[in-house]
Amino acid sequence: MENIFKKNIGAIVKRNKSLAEIVSNADYTPYVDVLQAKSGDPVPVVKKESGNLSVHSKFDPVKEAQRLIDEFNVTQYDCIVVSGFGFGYHIECLLQKVKKDATILIMEQFPWMVAAAIAHRDLHHVLNDTRVILLVNPDEEAIAIHMKGRSSYKTLFITHRGSFQINPEHYTNLQRIAKAYISTKEVNIATLAKFEKLWTSNIARNIRQIISSPPASSFFDRFSNIPAIIVNAGPTLTQSIPHIQKCYDSSIIIAVDTSLKVLEHYGIEPHFCITVDPQLINARYFEGIHFSKTILIADPMVHPSTFLFYTGRKAITGVAFEMMKWIEEITGSYGTLRYGGSVSTNAYDFAKRLGAHPIIMVGQDLAFTNGLAHVKGAYLDDHIYFRNYRTYTVEMFNRFQLTALPKILVKGIKSRFVHTNQKMMIFISWFGRLNDQSLINATYDGAYIDNVAHKKFEDIAYHKYGIDLWHAIDEIYKSAVPESATITLHSEHLLTQLHEMLHQTESMNTMLSRAIHFSEELIHNIQNKKTQAIPSLVKKLDDIDKKLTDFSVTRNLVGLTIQHIIHTVTEGYEIDEAVTSEQEKVALKSLYLYKGLLEGVQYSSRVIKNMIVLLQQL
């Protein structure tokens, strides 16, 4: 048995020294007994207060493993995520049937289970197999690291029932994390494909608003230790309205765009409102709003109609986007906010950057509390009522939102359990990872967020400062508004660079057309095994690549419009699954990239021309 352990641990050391150390130091004897099945194979039996639990069949664990794997057509999948290692019988069976280049990611909770397995079974062939990745008690970061580059793979999830029964909650959570990562990455690619041109176009169309508005950073660190209330649009927001009214004179009120109409209905004018979404529907949240004092903190990528619908004061944030970075090199920084996928995460970071303390969230249900998707009275209600037909009602729309993603039950703030989904779980996790002692969730009900203090409004104790908040905000805003001479100067600098970029796009268009031609010729020669012409074509493409790097600013702008293409290629996307030659795969991906670049250049040229026209109108 000692020789088996040494052989197995040696295999782990080659792949993962830190894991080998953890397993070597794990004493399995207090947790598991190892018995012999009728087939003669060793079987772990876990000692539990509720009774001993056999992790594999006591009759024939090999046949049991075969039945489990036969439930799936594993040859169709590129990545198999297995919950539970046990004694590895199912992993051996899986390795016999999966593709030669597949990945088997095993998530095992207990180091002592692995220690017991390698002490009683010769598994060095499993542990040496490069297709196998063994994670023991992994956190979210570890799962994300090993899922990176595999998000576009066809993925199968297999639960080893015996392992799952030891701690169902833990294994369910591990699977949720892995699935959420894949879903998030898939959403990222889809989001990039859908929005990257919209983001670029919106910044271009907003250029006059950007250079004539004060930066959001003007307010950073100006309200140290002043309480801030972030008003989100969750279903239970209404229950918090009396508390917001009571604290109005002593707290900074920060609304998200979806809650603005509800606050107006109750006569509450927030000090700030955060908006970040680039779509037209979000711009309509401001339609009919009559606030004059509220300062709209707007992402530069919001839909231009936002600035038409909202006639009050505005300030602009920066954003980690090359086009905005280029603008800020001329105008100066606007101050970026952290993104977590929801406007509530931006609102939290804005409050943090103000220096506010404590930061109190309301309407942050992150769940379908009482079967509702959002607070009644939000703009979305009006939008649905406007398009209300006999075949499409508000109730049907709400039901669609509730059922669009699989239902997940989580611990509630007031309710025992509340209904959420995978999308909102991402935000729950985001806030939970902050570990911010100044953050308080005073939401009436909804999803309970780990590592965040949950308090009733009346139980929150904070000092009330004698500062006149509106006066302080007004003074900061007035001093931050750019002077007309500054706006003119920035406009002139931008125009100079835009004209140069327009000239560069014309040159890039010609080069990329040639690159596409050479790539197609290269693929033809590879397919027909005409190797003599290949070096010459590769050199021509290398020469074009070097010339393209000279257009740095324009190249970055073009890159913005093809991020989904870049992301798709780098995340392991296969252009053609029938292609087996690595040389041909590389050539096909190059062609795909050059075509995307050409499309990006042509689109960028139109964007640049539009910006020139808008700036010339100032």
Domain 2-22+62-186: CATH architecture, name and number where available = 3-Layer(aba) Sandwich (3.40)
In contact, 290 and 524? CB cutoff 8 Å: no
Instruction: Report how far residue 75's alpha carbon sits from residue 98's, in angstroms, rounded to the nearest whole number.
Output: 5
- Provide the pLDDT for residue 580: 58
- Per-residue model confidence (pLDDT) at position 601: 83
Q: For the chain, give the number of residues.
A: 618
- Domain ranges (residues) in the chain: 2-22+62-186, 206-482, 485-616
pLDDT of residue 480: 97
- What is residue 394's predicted lDDT score, i.e. its pLDDT? 46
- Residue among 131, 69, 73 nearest 94 (CA): 69
Task: Give the pLDDT score at 315.
Answer: 98
Beta bridge partners of 447: 412
Three-state SS for 167-200 is CHHHHHHHHHHHHHHHHHHHHHHHHHHHHHHHHH
Distance CA 9, CA 283 (A): 59
pLDDT of amino acid 391? 43
Residues of the chain with pLDDT under 70: 1-2, 148-153, 180-196, 379-405, 462-465, 552-580
Token pair for 329: 């090199």
The span from the CA of 26 to the CA of 29, in Å, is: 9
Strand partners, 108: 136
Helix (H) or strand (E) holding 107: strand 103-108
Q: Which residue has the tokens 């894991």?
A: 19
What pLDDT, in 10s, does the model give residues 545-555?
888 777 765 65
For residue 569, what pLDDT is reported?
55
Chain-centroid distance of CA 2 in Å reads: 46
Measured over the CA atoms of residue 279, residue 280, residue 282 and residue 286, the dihedral's sign is: positive
